[in-house]
Structures are given as structure tokens and as C-alpha cells.
Structure 1
Amino acid sequence: MFIDDTIAAIATAPGEAGIGIVRISGDKSIDLTDQIFRSKEGKKLSEYKPRRITYGYIIDPKTDKRVDEVLVSYMKGPNTYTKEDIIEINCHGGMIPVKNILELVLRMGARAADPGEFTKRAFLNGRIDLAQAEAVMDLISAKTEKGFDVALNQLEGSLSKKVAKVREILLEMLAHVEVSIDFAEEDIDEVTLDFLLEKSSEVEKDIQKLLDTADTGKILREGLSTVIVGKPNVGKSSLLNALVRESRAIVTDVPGTTRDVIEEHLNVKGIPLRLIDTAGIRETEDVVEKIGVEKSKELFNLADLIIVMLDASRELMEEDKQIINLIGQKKALIIINKTDLPQKLNFEEVETIIGSKKIIKVSLVEEKGLEEIEDALVEMVYQGQVRAKDSLLVTNIRHKNALERALESIKDSTKAIKQQLPLDFVEVDIKNTWEALGEITGDSVGEDLLDHIFKNFCIGK
């Protein structure tokens, strides 16, 4: 795809900072910059060699007025991020300097870049594939070291290489199928069928292995939405404060203190946690508290994980049972608080009601059990299927959907081979698998999908 215009954008976050950067990319980058930049020696940027930083000034050619003191780097394509000529103007941080320089660059003939357009050009010019392009935003938005490592691994091509390897197997299968179709007058030998069945099974296992990482990958990318529920005054706010390590929520002996939702983002041993403290779920005539209870139930249904809190110093009440019954098949952790007080809770009754859900006994007053809670959260995220040190994880819902379609198609292929259906049927299923996997790397996507993906990027990246 030929791109004939030059784009520009502010590449640094808005606000006061030590430096601000205006990025320019395109074949007119150097000519455009020559119109507004003068080095300390009075030279144009084109008079210097590429891949060096030059000190000087941005000057408005209309007024000959200095706009700012800058450092300018010039990188010659194709060995750049976009594979085009790139200029980066490092000016003083703050909205005024970068805004003035960007406006000047646009006046000289550049076009304001769309969100993610620099990375889109990197993809369209063949420097990176679509999975790597999406990993760029994952790197920027990573909330933990583990999430960053997974994104960096994907940017370096780990997922792309695995997908490419599976697609090579599918091409090999297609070659065998097409040869057999071309010589349809001859019987399809058992060797061909055995080969197709073996390779189909191999592809199915590879795709399933990637899909098994999707839930964990999504959590590392977006965070684990965790809702703390329980009847009033059971210790929900105390748990949030303990995990956050500060007094974020008001804690009193008065039931119903928390009437609205309190949300905190934290890092629990590499797991980004979106922790939500809710109003105690109970029947109430208080109008404000009733709204909070309804909001709690709504968040309950949307959460990835439910933390149900019970009070060891009180008997199991109908309110507790109703909350436990709401869990259903959701992932849940049962925390029994106030174990430092005289025990009235019937633990055997709790175990009977909750079934196989994990129970942890704690005393938040004495700060006992927090480590066990954090370990349980990590264990529930990885589920024994994905090791915490694994870096090849599917983190993107678009990738997951493509893998699910690929898995369904290859299973249809396996079924057709086993039933010895005409090879035209097998060929269609293999091609569908191949194309679905190609959507991950961008080998088989349309312009509309590309626009949808890159519009979520930040401008300047």
C-alpha cells in the first residue's frame, strides 16, 4: 500500500513535563523540518547526517521568531518505526511549546495523524504484523510487570511465530488435499488420510493450547474484576483497606457504612486487580442504601471473581445463605473474617453449602491471612493450566475469537477426514482455519477492521 502524505502528532502525554515530543513521519519530513529548524550553527537539518541529535531552534518562517529551543533527531527510512523518514522534535514540556510546534508543522504541509497511525503505517509497510501492532498498546497500558513482559514478548513476535507455524502445517495439508483432488480418478490412499488426520490433530492441539491461556491473558491485560460481597459489617471495607495497604474505605461498627461502590486498582503478585468494595447486601428501607445494594448485585453479575465474606463471630444467617446462593458457577473465594473473636459460625455448615469453593480463615484486625488470600487469588487466575512464568499468552479478545473459529473449523476438518467425506469438504474447513488464524497476524483482514483496531490507539503512537 502506497502512502504519499506526511503525518505529525504530539507523542508525549499532555501536561507539564521535562520534555515534549512532536513526531513527524513521511517522505516530506525532512523538507518540512528544514523550513522551520535552524541549528546553533545556522544550518538546516538536511545538512547533517541521519541518526544524530541536533541542537537548535524552531523558527516561525513568517515572523522569523524563535518558537522554542529544541533537540531534533532525524531517522532515515526504511530503518525506522514506520519504515518512513521520521523526525522527532524534542522541545520543552508543557502544552504551549508542543502545541505551537505541532501547529507550525501542520502549517508547513503535514497532516494531523489519526489515533495509532504511526503504528498502522508500521504494519502497512510490513515492519510488524497486526498482533505485534496491538502489543504496542498493551505495553503502554500494562498495569504489572507480568503484563508488560507478556506484551513485550508478543511485540517480539512470540504469538505471531506460533500462528505462522500452525498456518504452515495447514498449507502442507492443503497441498496434499489439492493433489488428491487433481487426481480424483485414483483412490485416496490410506497414507494421505492418515497424514491429514495426524496434522489436523496436531493443529487442533496447538490452537487449544493457545486458547487455554486466553482467560489468564485477558486478566493480565485488563485486570481481574473482583467484587467483595457480604452482609453489612462483615469486614468488606477492612479487606479492601488491607489489600490496598491504606485506609481507603471508612470502617466503623455501624452496619451499612458503605453505601456506594469503592473501586481500587492494585497489583497482587503480578496480577492487576480491580477491587470493588460494595454495599452490604441485605433488605433495607433506607433509600440510599437500597440503591447501593442494587448496584452491588449488578456488579456481582459482571465480576470475574467474587470474594464472599462471612463473620466467624456470628452464626450463619439467611442473608449469608442468599449471598452464597447467588454465586452459582462463578469463580469465588470464601473468606471467613473475625477469627480472633469467640467463634459462633458453624464451619461444617458453610462447607456443605459452598461445595468445592476455597475457604480462607482470617483476622483482618490482627492482619492474619492476607498472604494466603493473595496466594489464592494468583492460583485462581492461573488455574493450574498456565504457569506464572509463561509469556506466550493470548491477551486480546479479538485473537481469542479468531482462535475459537479456527478451532471449530479444524474440528470439522478432523470429523470430515474420519468420515472419509469428499476432500472438497476437508479443503474448505482447512482454508477456514488458515484464514481465521491469518486474522490474528493481519494476513487476512479488511480495511474496516484495521480502522477499528487502530482508532483505540493513542494519538502519536
Structure 2
Amino acid sequence: MFQEDTIAAVATAVGEGGIGIVRLSGPDAIDIAGRIFRSASGAPVSGQQSFRAAYGRIVEPASGQEIDEVLLLVMRAPRSYTREDVVEIHCHGGPLPLRRILSLVLAAGARLAEPGEFTKRAFLNGRLDLSQAEAVIDVIRAKTDASLRVAVGHLAGAFSDKIRAFRNEILRLVAHLEAAIDFPEDDIEELAAHDVSMAADKLIADLDRLLATAQTGRILREGLQTVIIGKPNVGKSSLLNALLGEKRAIVTEIPGTTRDIIEEFVNIGGIPIKVVDTAGIRETADVVERIGVTRARAAICQADLILLLLDASAPLAHEDREVMGLLAGRPAIVIVNKTDLPAVIDLDEVHREVDDKAVIRISALEGTGVEELEQAIVEMVYSGRVSQPEGAFVNNVRHSRIIEQARDRLADALATIAAGMPPDCVVVDLRAAWEKLGEITGETIGEDIIDQIFTQFCIGK
């Protein structure tokens, strides 16, 4: 499904750098590059070997003005990222030379690539399936080693292979039933229905296990939204600084120092944690602080995890109990801070107030107990699945919904069998599940959805 036009874009990040890359892909990529590149050896671009770099200069054809000295790399179809002819011009990484070179390339006959169009062409030309293409952006956006391993596993096809195995099993069941339909005289319909029922049960269980990884996969991909709450002056900003390993938030003995939301990413056990430090929750006449309290309450509603701080050096106050009331039905860890001071708080009362929530004692000031807190966060995220192979995680909301829908179609097939319906009715349900799973790899999906997926990419990828 090769495209007739040639696209171009700057493939490196915006800003200054040692090297910048202008990428071309399409049938005229080599010819266009040849119009503006002058090799130091005098050799034409058309004769350049694939995967060999040539040194030379980019020259404006009309005036002969030299724009920059560059390395030019040719990758001939089909052994390239897009399976088309690809040319990369490696120049100095300033905005001006990149812009000038891109302008020359466009003037020579290329058009500006749309967001994600290079990867889209790799998908349309069969180099990547849709799940692998989506993993490209996950690799780019990975914030920790764990999230990178998940993304690379998907890019390598580990997740796609699992989905294809499910689809192949469903096709096997369809063939089994169609044999029963084609040879009714052999009286195998009842036996086929029993076999299909058992196999569909197993498939549903396999899909359920895959769906169970969705929350962890989403967190590894997007980060764990973690909100630190508590009354003023319990050490929320000190905890943020302890987790970050730097003094990011202002810490004073004056209550209400933090009046707005402070957000930072931190790597805890390979999990990207988006830590949100909030204003102390209390009744206040201060207009600015009251806005901060309102924003703190809103952040709690959006949190994946709540870290509630209490002061070990003071008895539970009305404000503490009010904040504890916000934890009902929410994933939370209760942290008793300031253990470096004489203990006053009644821990038994704390446990009664928070039911089954984990309670951890720390000193954010001295750093004691912070490792135990980090381990509790890791265990909560993985829910006992620390050894889960990275490629087996569902880390995409689109994939999660499709798997749920495929599971429902398999459940429909079981209900159809239980109702004593003929095999061809069961086949309809099974094929619906097969087609639904194909939307993950892109084998059965509409062009509008494909376009929507690739608009999430940056230009140049």
C-alpha cells in the first residue's frame, strides 16, 4: 500500500542541539535529496548505497548558497522504517539550519508530513501492526525503566503475538463448528458444541487475566496520580521533597505555606509517580488558601492513590478526622509523620478510623520509613504481579475496551450454546469476537480510527 507522494519533516526535538535530522520518505525521497545535496566526493545521491552515510553540503539550487555541512543517509525500500525509500539529512541542530533545509526539501517536491505519518506508513506498508505502531509513542514518552520495558515489549510484538494467538484459537473453534454444519450426518454437532464451550470458557479466563493487568499497564504508561493530603503543617511538602530527593517545595513551621497544587514526577521502583502536593485541608478565611483547599479536594477525586499525612507528635484533631473521611472507598496509604518527635498520636485510634488502609510511620525530615512507603506503593500498583512479563500488560485504554468487548462476544457464544441454538448462530458470535480482537492489531479496523490514533503522534515520527 505504498504512497505516491513523498513526505518530509524535522525528526528531532524542537530546540538547540548538536545534531538535527530532516527525514524524507516516499518514491521521490532520493531524487529530492539529490537536488540539494552536494557530496564532498562528487558522487550523486542516486548511486549512494543503502545504510551508508555521505559527507557533503546542502546547497540552495537557485543561488548555489551553502546552507550547512551535513551527513546524508539513504535507506532504500523495503529495508527502512516505512518500507519506502527514506533519506535522513543530519545537520547542525539549530532551529535555523533545520528550517532552511526543510524549506528546500519542500520546495523540491516533498510535502510536510502529518503527525505520525512516518509510523502510519510503516503500519500501512506492513512493517508494524497497529499495536506495535502505538507502542512507538509509548517508547518516546516512557518515564521509567519499567514503562520503557513495557513499551519495547509491545513494539517487539509480544502483546500482538498474544492477541493473534487468541484470534487463531477462535478461528479453530469456528472451523470446528463449521465442520459440524457441513457434515450433519456424522452427528458431531453436540460434541462440537461441548468442545467449543470448554475452549470459549478458557479464552474468557485468559482475557480476564489480561484485563487484570490493565490498571497496572495504564499506570506504567501514564504514571500513578498520587495526591498528598492532610491538615496544614503535617509535613506534606517535606514528604514531597523526601520522595523527590530534593528541596522542591517550601517547608516552614507556618501552617498553610502551600497554597496551590505542586506536581512532580518521581521514579519509585520503576513506576512513574506523579506526586501532587496540595494545600492543607482546613477551614480558612484566607481567600487564596481557600482556593488551594478547593483545588486539593478536586485533586483527591482524580487521584489513583491518596497519601494521607498525620502528625505523630499531636493527637488526632477534628481536621484529621475530616480528611480521613475523604478516604472511603479510595486506594490510600496513611502516613504517620514526625516520628522523630515524642509520640502523642493514638495509633490504635488511627487504625480504627481508616479501617483496612495501610498505616506507615515515617520521618520525612530524617528520611526514615520512606523506603517502606515506596515499597507499599509498588506493591499496591502491581497487586502481587511484580513478575508479570512486560509484554503481557494491557497499557492502552483502547486495547482494554476492545478486549472487554471481545470477552462479551465469547460470553454471547456460550449463552447461545446453552440455549441450544444451532451452530451457525454460535459462529456469528465467535466471528464477532475474532473481528473485535483484530482491531488491536489493525487487521479489522476502520480508516477513521487509524487516522485518530496517529494524530496523537508528533510530526516527524
How big is the shift at 1:183? 4.7
Q: Where does 1:349-364 land on structure 2 (aligned, <5 Å)?
A: 349-364=349-364
Deviations along 1:226-269, one digit per CA (max 9) or x if unpaired, are 00001111111110011111111111111111110111111112
Indicate conservation of the 8 Å contact 1:25/1:82, yes or no.
Answer: yes
Residue 417 of structure 2 corresponds to which residue in structure 1?
417
Moved more, 221-230 or 188-197: 188-197
How big is the shift at 1:184? 5.7
SS at match of 1:3: coil
Aligned length: 461
Q: Counterpart amino acid of 1:18?
A: G
Deviations along 1:136-191, one digit per CA (max 9) or x if unpaired, are 11001100011111111110100000000000000111112223334567755432
Does the alignment pair 1:147 with 2:156?
Answer: no
CA distance in 1, matches of 2:296, 2:264: 15
Q: Counterpart amino acid of 1:312?
A: A
CA distance in 2, matches of 1:199, 1:227: 44
Does the alignment pair 1:328 with 2:352?
Answer: no
Percent of aligned pairs sharing the same letter: 51
CA distance in 1, matches of 2:282, 2:17: 49
Deviations along 1:296-326, one digit per CA (max 9) or x if unpaired, are 0000000100001111121112221221121
**Distance verdict in 2 for CA 1:313–1:91, change over 3 Å:** same
CA distance in 1, matches of 2:155, 2:261: 36
Residue 44 of structure 1 corresponds to which residue in structure 2?
44
Q: Counterpart amino acid of 1:330?
A: R
CA distance in 1, matches of 2:9, 2:2: 20
Q: Where does 1:213-232 land on structure 2 (aligned, <5 Å)?
A: 213-232=213-232
Indicate conservation of the 8 Å contact 2:177/2:189, yes or no.
Answer: no
Q: Counterpart amino acid of 2:24?
A: I
How big is the shift at 1:421? 2.7
Does the alignment pair 1:121 with 2:121?
Answer: yes
SS at match of 1:42: coil
CA distance in 1, matches of 2:367, 2:132: 43
Residue 63 of structure 2 corresponds to which residue in structure 1?
63
Residue 28 of structure 2 corresponds to which residue in structure 1?
28
Residue 136 of structure 1 corresponds to which residue in structure 2?
136
Residue 103 of structure 1 corresponds to which residue in structure 2?
103
How big is the shift at 1:110? 0.3
CA distance in 2, matches of 1:101, 1:111: 13
Normalising by structure 1, report the TM-score: 0.97
**Distance verdict in 2 for CA 1:325–1:186, change over 3 Å:** farther
Q: Counterpart amino acid of 1:47?
A: G
RMSD: 1.4
SS at match of 2:392: coil
Residue 379 of structure 2 corresponds to which residue in structure 1?
379
SS at match of 1:22: strand
Q: Counterpart amino acid of 1:98?
A: L
Indicate conservation of the 8 Å contact 1:26/1:86, yes or no.
Answer: yes
Residue 82 of structure 1 corresponds to which residue in structure 2?
82
Moved more, 42-51 or 236-245: 42-51
Residue 271 of structure 1 corresponds to which residue in structure 2?
271
SS at match of 2:17: coil
Indicate conservation of the 8 Å contact 1:212/1:385, yes or no.
Answer: no
Q: Where does 1:142-221 land on structure 2 (aligned, <5 Å)?
A: 142-183=142-183, 189-221=189-221
Residue 393 of structure 2 corresponds to which residue in structure 1?
393
Q: Counterpart amino acid of 2:113?
A: A
